[in-house]
Amino acid sequence: MGHLVQNLYLIGNRWKYRKGIPERLRPHIDGQITEFVRWLGAHEGQGKSPLPKITDRYSEAARECASLIAMAEKRASDHFDDLNPETIAHIIAVARHELMDEDEAGRFAPDVLNYDKHWEKRQESIEISLAVWKHEYARGQIGEFVVDEVVDRCAAMGLRVDTTSDGFRKLARAYLETLIATAEGARKRQQGEPVPTPAPPPPIAAHAVHKPITQTITGLAEDWWKEGERTGLSVSTKEAYTRAARQFSDFLGHDDANAVTNADIVRFKDFRLEQGKSAKTVKMGDLSALNALFTWGVDNHRVASHPGTVKLKVAKKTKTRPKGFTDDEATALLSAATAYQPTGKEPDQITEAKRWVPWLLAYTGARVGEMAQLRREDVRHENGRWIIRLTPEAGTIKTDEYRDVVIHPHLVDLGFPAFIEKAKPGHLFLKITRKGPEGVMGALQTTKNRITNFVRTVITDMRVQPNHAWRHRFETTARNLGKRQDVTNAITGHSAKDVAGDYGEDEMAAQEEFFRNWPRFQISRPPEAN
């Protein structure tokens, strides 16, 4: 997956959430379990990545586990939560809704065989309960049933309460009054008088329930990355999550992670869509990042609770043209790249990117970032072949795995090896102005943007992606020529069970054969090597 996923395992063909319980906390958990386990469902689809419904269940299991551990921590340290007026009001509002809703569901149960007996049993139960609760209320007594109910409702919110505290006594008294009021409502329903079920209250902010933890939204991303970097996550993932956290904080007008509600995330989603961002970008970028950060925050006790996931359905786009470039578009773009001359002041790296990256994409089907981050040392001549190594060491690779790709003979004839031999060591197409991975990623984004802008001066059809269209065209050409799928996957870096390493022959020889009858693009003149 694209974000840090701990405690998620694919066992056979089923997804499993499993997290060990610290030994010191086990005596404070019912059953003294050694690990928390939830089965999330069957694996579906290609590859080994879970579908969104599994990640949603994963988030629910992670929150449940975090709540269990948090409660155990409180028991171990003998900590009690305070019950403030806002929390008490919220618990009572939830109870009022649930009690009346349960009565309504029980009244119209679908499996009733004898409606008169059903009514009699309900009437008897209501009268007995109402008599007990009114008796206790009249004498100022809080019975064992009420105490247990209130403790359970507090625990459901992650609260460990002291039953002798003033806050608990206020809540218990309010709960007893609610039991009486809802029972009176149920009795009216028994007499045929409709009594509406109150709507559930809106979610209460975590900071209103718990003593706030000093944790900012932007700081949550920073803390997450400290762990993510050590576990090998890519810098591009870090930048995506950091950007999402910063934009979310700017939108809210505050940076308090514990004050975030589910409604805040919904509003942010709507705001991003109104900005013109695609549903796919909002779902896979913004919402995915925030979900991952808050899940990690709960797991690592940075935030009191997860504000909840927000779903967004991405409609399938209507297809009105091929995803790949047409012959005319490909020829026009490569001709423009060949003839390109900078106007004004432009770094040499950007100029060469506009000249060479379109050609490299055309003959490899690679992702634009993989070629834009190419270094001189990533190109070599070996056993009579020119070979490109696409590696995470140069910046970022989606699969986090390097791959070697044989250079098409046409690229050799066009002078790409000559360009390489004259180039200085390091990145060929990046103007890096800052040290470290952040400097590389910033320069990479700049180069990709410049290439995209250049392509759009030639390819103005907005229905086609300016760089990824080469990837679609390459794969279509491979299919039309009847090329081996395993070799196609190895060249393009697509994940597949039969990809790379199992050719049954020399991998580079297989690629060389793959390109033997690959059609060449015809343009007016080749690019010049500077």
| Single-letter amino acid, residue 142 | I
Give pLDDT, residue 499: 41
Residue with tokens 């618990």: 91
Q: Which residue has the tokens 């400290």?
A: 226
The 3-class secondary structure across 119-143, one letter per residue, is HHHHHHHHHHHHHHHHHHHHCCCCC
| In contact, 448 and 353? CB cutoff 8 Å | no
pLDDT of residue 4: 45
Residue 450: the pLDDT is 93
Q: How many CB atoms lie within 10 A of CB 387?
A: 17
Q: In 3-state terms, what secondary structure has residue 277?
A: coil
Res 500: pLDDT: 42
Residue 224: partners with Cβ closer than 8 Å, 6 or more residues away: 4, 241, 292, 293, 296, 297
Q: What is the pLDDT of residue 3?
A: 40
Per-residue pLDDT at 5: 64
Which pLDDT belongs to residue 71?
85
The half-sphere exposure of 39 on its side-chain side, counting CA atoms within 13 A, is: 7
Distance (Å, rounded) from C-alpha 294 to C-alpha 185? 40
How many Å apart are CA 126 and CA 114, to the nearest integer?
19
Joined together, the tokens standing for residue 512 give 């060389």
Q: Are 527 and 414 in contact (CB under 8 A)?
A: yes
The predicted structure's pLDDT at residue 247: 93
CB of 473 closer than 8 Å to CB of 462:
no
pLDDT at 2: 38
Q: How far, in Å, are 323, 336, 471, 473 from residue 463 at the CA level?
A: 8, 20, 15, 15
Mind listing the pLDDT tens digit of every residue in the chain (530 residues)? 334 467 888 888 899 999 999 888 899 888 889 999 999 999 887 777 888 888 889 888 988 888 888 888 888 888 888 788 888 999 999 999 999 999 999 999 888 889 999 999 999 999 999 999 999 999 999 999 999 999 999 988 888 888 988 889 999 999 999 999 999 999 999 999 999 999 999 887 665 665 444 688 999 999 999 888 888 777 778 888 999 999 999 998 888 888 888 889 999 999 999 988 888 889 989 999 999 999 998 888 888 778 888 888 777 777 888 899 999 999 999 999 999 999 888 999 999 999 999 999 999 999 999 999 999 999 999 999 999 999 988 888 877 788 999 999 999 999 999 999 999 999 999 999 888 877 888 899 899 999 999 999 999 998 899 999 999 999 999 999 999 999 999 999 886 544 444 544 478 999 999 999 999 998 865 445 45
